[in-house]
Chain A
């Protein structure tokens, strides 16, 4: 975590656009949350028909009524304002990169307990309690 799934119609985005969006997702999330960049995961899911998708954040199907959708899953513990700020940043970034009108994309972010996840062989810390070692991978990425 964090994990963002960008739902699009078939062949709607080029590889270059997807990579720009993945970088944008990383920029937005890390700019607001201060999470290490290496922990931000972005997946693109193309649908033959828009309207719903299998929601692997839990069990079942998520319905939506826009052409594009961003489904996020973050560690729990952030304020509603911070969550809204992250989501709005994602939607704005998506429109900037794709040229899609803002009423054609929507999204949501759900939260899960950090202590329920092991990443890189370690139990995830709660937001704001990240040890310095968490950022070592980012130093490698930056070099």
Chain B
């Protein structure tokens, strides 16, 4: 199971392009990890204006955090990060500087989730 949390600033990533952004991430995952990794789930959250800051000032930065099965090599992880970053920037029209992409091992995500 792979899942992604996409945390975006209000007014920066229109809801109309979210499906395309998801498709871009799915394509990247399938290319790098293979389709046998199973379904990919997405959770979108939006930070209201006035509630997100970067360096102390209003932020336009999106955070895309994925959780993948353990065992991915760093080489594959970096390739996946690169592909998702490129896809996100291309589809959203935002700069690379406005996206933080993380790909974590599932065991880390489970451990830090305080279930």
* Residues of A near any B CB (own CB < 8 A): 1, 3, 15, 18-19, 22-27, 37-46, 55-63, 110, 112-113, 115-121, 123, 137-138, 141
Contacts and interface: CB of A to CB of B under 8 A. Distances in A.
Contact of B113 (A44, A59, A119, A120): A59
9 contacts: A24-B56, A26-B55, A41-B63, A42-B56, A44-B52, A58-B109, A59-B109, A60-B113, A112-B104
Contacts of A18: 50-51, 53
Given A18-B53, A26-B56, A59 B101 contact: no
A81 B102 CA distance: 26
B97 A121 contact: yes
Contacts of A115: 74, 77-78
A27 B55 CA distance: 9
Interface in B21-38: none
User: Majority SS of interface residues in chain B?
Assistant: mixed
B96 to A, nearest CB: 4
A46 B5 CA distance: 19
B64 to A, nearest CB: 9
A40 B115 contact: no
B53 A63 contact: no
Contacts of A55: 112-114
Given A40-B54, A59-B113, 8 more contacts: A3-B63, A15-B50, A43-B53, A55-B112, A57-B112, A113-B104, A117-B81, A119-B100
A41 B114 contact: no
A111 B26 CA distance: 27
B110 A56 contact: no
Contact of A58 (B53, B82, B113): B113
A37 B111 CA distance: 29
